[in-house]
């Protein structure tokens, strides 16, 4: 049970990091295009 919780937390954290990464990439793209 404990390992499942740890796995879930790790999964969520990685997902959030991934989303943050894509959000920054998109933001940089928008800034380059001049569309905010």
The confidence score (pLDDT) of residue 12 equals: 94
How remote is the C-alpha of 16 from its chain's centroid? 4
What is residue 1's predicted lDDT score, i.e. its pLDDT? 64
pTM of the model: 0.56
Burial readout 19-36 (b: 16 or more C-beta within 10 A, e: otherwise): eeeeeeeeeeeeeeeeee
pLDDT tens digit sequence for 1-36:
679 999 999 999 999 999 999 999 988 888 887 765
Q: How far is CA 18 from CA 1, 5, 14, 35, in A?
A: 26, 20, 6, 23
């Amino acid at each position: 049970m404990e390992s499942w919780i740890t796995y879930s937390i790790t999964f969520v954290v990685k997902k959030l990091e991934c989303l943050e990464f894509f959000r920054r990439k998109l933001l940089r793209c928008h800034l380059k295009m001049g569309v905010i």
